Amino acid sequence: MALTGNGINELLTLEGLAGGASPLHRLHPRAKLLATAAFLVTVLSFDQFALGRLIPFIFYPAVLIPLSDTPFALICKRLVVALPFCLFIGLSNLLLERQTALMLGGFALSFGLLSCLSLLLRACLCVAAVLLLVAVTRLSELTAALRSLHVPAIFVTVLEMTYRYIGVLWGETGSMLLAYRLRGGRAKGVDLRHAGSFVGCLFLRSVDRAERVYAAMRCRGYGGGALFLQKRPFSPKDWAFCALIPALCAVLRLVDLGELLLRLLGGV
């Protein structure tokens, strides 16, 4: 039986993408992490009606996503997860705030519409930025960056191992579900009455598995820390990227690009 749930496929897709070889993949993970953080903070520092000021930030995903060979379709898929609640808040703004902000032709645009659109744009930008980060960086690189940023080692280890165990436990759950289905008259899901023993059993099997894996790791010399850590220095390219993105964000935070563009066009 194939594994149910498309979550594992998503993990595999991203892992495949992160193994690519675009210019972005080759950058230092810490540089990418800092650039992403700068982008997120800048985008979120605008107030809720700042639709016009947010639009220039589309350049970040618009330039970097094709550069990194990340399929645009992946972003749409991820937006499906992130959008519903944002949409709810956005629509409630649309309904509750009806004061006219500006007239465009014959149409009156309300503040609610502005905040709704800017909320959705914000959601797209943030989702795209995070996707971009994981699509060009392997988790092992990310965790190495976290270690070098002095995130507690025990937390980073838990993070790495959790990620690695997902596939293992997914298989364990798959075989349990198969057994349940075969003996339970091919029921579609697990009956709620059996939820406790099913999930509890899964947990106990997981713990047993963890103990076996841990014993095996100890036998192979594992001592709690990271065994292999490729230290790679910051290259000039990394420095450039690390400086460029936050600088551009700062400029866009201070300068209204749309207005500037208009003024330039008007001057011609």
Partner 1 sequence: MHMADALLSAAVGGTMCAASAAAIGYSVTRIQKDELSEKKVPIMAVAGAFVFAAQMINFTIPGTGSSGHIGGGILLAALLGGYPALLTISAVLLIQCLFFADGGLLALGCNIFNMGVIPCLVVYPLLFKPMLRRKTSLAAIGAASVLATVLGLQFGAFAVVLETQASGITELPFSAFALLMQPIHLAIGLVEGLITAAVLGFVHSMRPEIMQSAIEGSAIGGGVPLRRVLLSFGAAALIVGALLSLFASAYPDGLEWSMERLAGTTELELKGGVLEGAAGIQGATAFMPDYDFKSPEEEGSPLGTSTAGVVGGALTFALAGGTALLISAVKKKNRGAKATA
Interaction residues for partner 1, span 60-99 (CB under 8 A) = 61-63, 65-67, 69, 78-79, 81-82, 85-86, 89, 92-93, 96-97
CB of 40 to partner 1, least distance (A): 5
In whole angstroms, the minimum distance from the beta carbon of 235 to partner 1 comes to 23
Contact call for residue 226 and partner 1 (CB under 8 A)? no
Encoded one letter per residue, x for contact with partner 1 by CB under 8 A and - for no contact, window 108-137 reads -x-xx-xx---xx-xx--xx-xxx-xx---
Q: How many CB atoms lie within 10 A of CB 252?
A: 21
Q: Which one-letter DSSP state was computed for residue 65? A: H
Q: Is 52 in the site for partner 1 (CB under 8 A)?
A: yes
Whole-angstrom CA distances from 6 to 2, 12, 134, 170 are: 11, 10, 18, 11
Pairing of strands 107-110, 100-104: antiparallel
* CB 93 to partner 1: min, Å: 4
219 binds partner 1 (CB under 8 A): no
Amino acid at 133: L
Q: Is 23 in the site for partner 1 (CB under 8 A)?
A: no
Q: Match 């500006």 to its residue by tokens.
A: 102
Task: Decide: is 16 part of the binding site for partner 1 (CB under 8 A).
Answer: no
CA distances from 40 to 207, 208, 217 (A): 37, 41, 38
> From CA 258, how far away is CA 253, in angstroms rounded?
12
Binder of partner 1 out of 11, 138, 148, 226 (CB under 8 A): 11
For residue 233, the minimal CB distance to partner 1 (Å) is 25
Closer to partner 1 by Cβ: residue 243 or 260:
260
Token readout for 111 is 């503040």
Binding test (CB under 8 A) with partner 1, winner from 149, 178, 187, 240: 187
Q: Does 7 bind partner 1 (CB under 8 A)?
A: yes
- Comparing CB distances to partner 1, the nearer of 244 and 260 is 260
CB neighbour class for 75 (10 Å; exposed up to 12, middle 13-18, buried from 19): middle
Half-sphere exposure of 215 (CA within 13 A, CB side): 5
